[in-house]
Amino acid sequence: MCGISGIINKYNKSIDKEEIKKINDLISHRGPDDEGFFYEKNFAFGHRRLSILDLSSDGHQPMHYLNEKYTITYNGEVYNYLELKEELLSYGYTFKSHTDTEVILASYDKWGESCVHKFNGMWAFAIYDKEKERIFCSRDRFGIKPFYYAQIKDKFVFASEIKQFTVIKGWESILNTARGFDFLEYGLFEHTNETLFKNVFQLRGGHNLVYNLKDNSFNIEHWYDLKNTLKESTLNFDDASKEFEKLFNDSVSLRLRSDVKVGSCLSGGLDSSSIVCTVNNLLKDEENSIQETVSSCFDIKKYDEQEYIDEVTNNTNTKSNKIFPKYDDLFKELDNILWHQDEPFGSTSIFAQWSVFKEAKNNNLIVMLDGQGADEYLAGYHGFYSAYLLGLLKGFKISKFIYEFKAYKTNHNYSNIKIIKELIEKLLPSKIRDILRNKNSNKISLFNSSFKDKKHRNNYTDIRSYSISQLIDINLPMLLHYEDRDSMAFSIESRVPFLDYRLVEFVLSLPDEYKINNGETKSILREAMKNIIPNKIKNRQDKMGFVTPEEIWIRENKEIFLNKIEDYVTLSNGLITTNTVKYFKEVVNGTIRFDFTIWRIIVFGEWVMKFNVKVKK
């Protein structure tokens, strides 16, 4: 994994070498092992290398192929590069290195832009095609690796991180007010191609960008549409579980390909435990194959998962590393975390994740496996229950609906009224839903709605459509953003086995009842892992993840938080209203139920100051 950069001067002016070096230097953390540049008449590529495969100088980038017919700057890993290499060798291609980078270049020569359909992995790259006078840019199916672009004055610039644009002459740091409202009100970002910075865009996951150097135009193609890949599976539950286990084992095995040390993030939940236990099985026959894990823990029992973490590590050949994030370190680290994240983040769980990768670095772990993506298509969030129940009603499966309603109620100790409210909310148009939600939480006037655009979220009345939305639009893009920045801040490559596209497509092709059954989420995962993970993990009903005692931290330090909120009301130029002060006091006093709104206000204000963002009405 690495960092990339590129500058194209639109009017055939030569590149300012100092400028490309500046934007490349800003991501030295993404690639501390090597740097490189490629210059053409009116454009330049930059690269920072984190050596993972073929640690020799043969992996230097930007890399050329076929006598400089093609030149690439690339961030990511194509895990099936060995299989692709064998196929390309059969066609007569030759290779000078043992890298996946060279395989990408040969694949582009063989299959053109459609080569990306052959790749199993994560990537963001730009390939200069000298003969066609164009630059072909691509981002992986789910957007695991970042790719941003902006047009600044007479330049088209692309980068791995937004901060790289800040040293380009002509840069202006201005808030995208509609996206700022989305973040503060809903906790959303990464749900469109826009960022919180005005005129800075991301190439969405599953999209290509082709820049024509002849006329300085570019077009964007949606090369991977998850919906169009899906076919209805006819497998019964037992056979589907076996197929899931087979695909998951292969996914994890592919993501163990590395020439450096590999570890795993372990929360003690189903997803991370499945990865750790599967790795344990795959490494059983290898000498000196002790796996290392890193976990976030807390002294407060409500937020601590050590009993589950220990259950996994005691049942595997694993060295367990634990860290205990503290409030005192939160604000010490916040400035640095924000600089790496580039945009504000929705809760202090990102601080816990940051602390995990920091500890991984302290233990010389260069590659880490993590469980992102599983919840979104295995129906891991509680919101999937109402989508499932509505799907049963829509399909007139009344007896199954009644059975699952009761099981949901029993397993999670919910009242009939609570579940019915969830179902009614899902059926309401999103505009009405937002109004009612704000009215009930007394948040309707915390943020100035004149900053809001007209877009509203859709309703989802079945698991599949809700999963696709979670994967592509609502949730996963944010989590992948956090994951990438927190890991790369410490020069660590994070790999996510649950996002092997074969696994995602397979599970989404299955009936809803294979994901939720008997009031339990992730049914097929539990079944597939029943002989691999401990029963204590398999039978878990609660969900935590990278939690922190955020509510306690805020209440115990209320004066500090109150002072910051008062400051940020002024700083926001009307976006955050004065009602937030009253709201904060009522949350601290227990009059209003705690949620993450307070933290979003705090981190938004800190972000505005960090990047000197102008908030214009």
| Catalytic positions | 2
d(CA 135, CA 71): 9
E strands present in 223-277: 262-265
CB 555 within 8 A of CB 286: no
d(CA 119, CA 349): 32
Q: Is 250 left (phi over 0), alpha (psi -120 to 50) or beta?
A: alpha
> Can you read off the two tokens belonging to residue 425?
């909310």
Count CB-CB contacts under 10 A for residue 133. 12
d(CA 447, CA 580): 8
> Can you read off the two tokens belonging to residue 397?
């499966």
Give me the amino acid identity at 546. F
Give Cβ neighbours of residue 257 (< 8 Å, ≥ 6 apart).
Answer: 53, 79, 82
Calculate helix-pair angle for 100-111, 81-90, nearest 10 degrees: 50
d(CA 160, CA 144): 12
CB 388 within 8 A of CB 404: yes
CB 235 within 8 A of CB 243: yes
Coil, strand or helix: which one is 421?
helix
> Can you read off the two tokens belonging to residue 45?
């590529």
> Can you read off the two tokens belonging to residue 51?
């050596």
> Can you read off the two tokens belonging to residue 134?
């164009």
CB 349 within 8 A of CB 480: no
SS3 content of the chain, % helix, strand, coil (to 5): 45, 15, 35
E strands present in 267-357: 291-296, 318-323
Torsion (CA) 151, 157, 162, 166 in degrees, nearest 10: -80
Strand partners, 481: none
First vs last C-alpha separation in the chain: 39
Secondary element (H or E) of residue 116: none
